[in-house]
């Protein structure tokens, strides 16, 4: 079961990285199909120790996608507002 969870997490990271790369390529050419992607808020953590890794990965992906293209000032404001 743990091996499968680690594989799922690894696949989620790979998918997110490919989306980011595709968006960067699309942004250089005046926008692309990926430039209008909306991120869904991560689900609430239910406290299960076996799901901590997946939850942290989802949060990282959410933050990475949310912060893409933002200035440092915007990132700081966002963190202060939501953390």
Most confident residue range from 3-12, 34-43, 51-60: 51-60
Burial class (CB in 10 A: 0-12, 13-18, 19+), 50: exposed
Query: Is residue 50 predicted with pLDDT exceeding 80?
Result: yes
Q: Which residue range(s) make up the domain with 64? A: 2-82
Q: How confident is the model at residue 29 (pLDDT cuts 50, 70, 90)?
A: very low
Give me the pLDDT at residue 37, please: 61
Number of domains in the chain: 1
Torsion of CA 13, 18, 21, 22, to 10 degrees: -140
**pLDDT over threshold 70, residue 53:** yes
Q: What is the mean pLDDT of residues 9-23?
A: 73
* pLDDT at position 36 over 50: yes
């Amino acid at each position: 079961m743990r091996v499968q969870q680690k594989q799922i997490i690894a696949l989620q990271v790979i998918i997110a990285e490919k989306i980011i790369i595709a968006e960067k390529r699309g942004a250089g050419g005046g926008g692309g199909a990926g430039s209008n992607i909306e991120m869904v808020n991560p689900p609430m953590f239910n406290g299960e120790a076996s799901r901590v890794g997946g939850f942290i990965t989802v949060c990282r992906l959410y933050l990475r996608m949310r912060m893409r293209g933002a200035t440092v000032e915007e990132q700081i404001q966002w963190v202060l507002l939501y953390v």
